[in-house]
Amino acid sequence: MNKWDIFKDLLKNKNAILGMAIVCFIILIAMLGSMIAPYDPFLPFPLDRLQPPSFAHWFGTDSLGRDILTRVIYGSRISLMIGLVSVTISLVPGTILGLLAGYFGKTIDAVIMRIMDVVLAFPAILMAIFIAAILGPSLINTMIAVGIIYIPHYARIVRSSVLQLKEQLFVKSVRHMGGSHFRIIFNHILPNALAPIIVYATLGMGTAVLQAAALGFLGLGAQPPQPEWGAMLSEGRQYLQLAPHVAAFPGLAILFLVLGFNVFGDGVRDVLDPSLRI
Amino acid sequence: MNVSLILRRLLQLILIVAGVSVVVFFMLRMIPGDPAQLLLGELASPDELASLRDQLGLNRPLPVQYWIFVKNMLMGDFGNSVRTGTPVIQEIIPRFIATIELSAVGMLIATVFGILAGVLSAVYKNSIIDYTAMLSALVGVSIPVFWLGLMLIYLFAVHFHLLPMMGRMDLALDIKPITGFVLVDSLIHMDFSAFRDGLSHLIMPAFTLSTIPMAIIARITRSSMLEVLNQDYIRTARAKGMEERVVIFRHALGNAFLPIVTVLGINMGLLLGGAVLTETIFSWPGLGRFVVDSLMGRDYNAVQACILIFAVLMAFINLTVDLIYAFLDPRIRVNED
Give the pLDDT confidence score for residue A213 in this predicted structure: 94
- Supply the pTM of this predicted model: 0.89
ipTM strictly over 0.85? Answer: yes
Give the pLDDT confidence score for residue B232 in this predicted structure: 87
Position A222 confidence tier, pLDDT thresholds 50, 70, 90: confident
Out of B138, B273, B280, the one facing A262 most closely (by C-beta) is: B138
Average pLDDT over chain A reads 91
Give the pLDDT confidence score for residue B336 in this predicted structure: 44
H helices present in chain A, as ranges: 3-12, 14-31, 33-36, 68-104, 106-120, 124-135, 139-149, 151-165, 169-176, 181-183, 194-217, 229-238, 245-272
> Is A218 an 8 Å CB contact of chain B?
yes
Give the pLDDT confidence score for residue B335 in this predicted structure: 47
Give the pLDDT confidence score for residue B323 in this predicted structure: 75
Give the pLDDT confidence score for residue A90 in this predicted structure: 95
Report d(CA B42, CA A199) in Å as an integer. 51
Peptide bond into A225 cis (omega under 30): yes
Neighbours of B49 (CB within 10 A): 16
Out of A115, A121, A126, the one facing B315 most closely (by C-beta) is: A121
> Is B337 an 8 Å CB contact of chain A?
yes
Report d(CA A79, CA A227) in Å as an integer. 10
Out of A119, A136, A254, the one facing B144 most closely (by C-beta) is: A254
- Residue-wise pLDDT for A132-186, tens only, equals 888 888 999 999 999 999 999 999 999 988 998 988 899 889 888 988 989 999 9
Report d(CA B260, CA B273) in Å as an integer. 20
| Helix or strand run (H / E) with residue B283 | none
pLDDT, mean of residues A205-222: 92
> Is B276 an 8 Å CB contact of chain A?
yes
Report d(CA B270, CA B103) in Å as an integer. 10
Class of domain B88-296: mainly alpha
> Is A244 an 8 Å CB contact of chain B?
yes
Give the pLDDT confidence score for residue A12 in this predicted structure: 87
Q: What residues of chain B lie within 8 A of the CB of A278, using their CB?
A: 216, 219-220, 223
Give the pLDDT confidence score for residue B337 in this predicted structure: 42
The B residues from 177 to 236 touching A (CB cutoff 8 Å) are 216, 219-220, 223
Out of A130, A210, A248, the one facing B27 most closely (by C-beta) is: A130
CA dist B212 → A120, A206, B135, B218, B322 (Å): 19, 13, 13, 10, 22
Task: Output B302 or A3, whichever has higher pLDDT.
Answer: B302
Any idea of the CA torsion for B146, B148, B150, B152, to the nearest 10 degrees?
-150
- Residue-wise pLDDT for A94-107, tens only, equals 999 999 999 998 89
Give the pLDDT confidence score for residue B170 in this predicted structure: 83
| Distance between start and end Cα atoms, chain B | 19
Kindly provide the b/e burial profile for residues B210-243, where b requires at least 16 CB atoms within 10 angstroms of the residue's own CB.
Answer: bbbbbbbbbbbbbbbbbebbeeeebeebeeeeee
Contact call for residues A201 and A88 (beta carbons, < 8 A): no
> Is B305 an 8 Å CB contact of chain A?
no
B139:A259 CB<8 A: yes
B16:A247 CB<8 A: no
The B residues from 236 to 275 touching A (CB cutoff 8 Å) are 269-270, 272-274
A121:B144 CB<8 A: no
Taking CA–CA distances from B158, the nearest residue in chain A reads A241
Contact call for residues B156 and B202 (beta carbons, < 8 A): no
> Is B153 an 8 Å CB contact of chain A?
yes
B153:A255 CB<8 A: no
Q: What residues of chain A lie within 8 A of the CB of B280, using their CB?
A: 218
Below-70 pLDDT ranges, chain B: 1-2, 266, 328-337
**pLDDT exceeds 80 at position A10:** yes
Out of B20, B139, B291, the one facing A121 most closely (by C-beta) is: B20
**pLDDT exceeds 70 at position A87:** yes
> Is B143 an 8 Å CB contact of chain A?
yes
Neighbours of B22 (CB within 10 A): 12
Give the pLDDT confidence score for residue B15 in this predicted structure: 87
> How close does chain A come to B295, measured CA to CA in Å?
8
**pLDDT exceeds 60 at position A277:** no
Position A23 confidence tier, pLDDT thresholds 50, 70, 90: very high
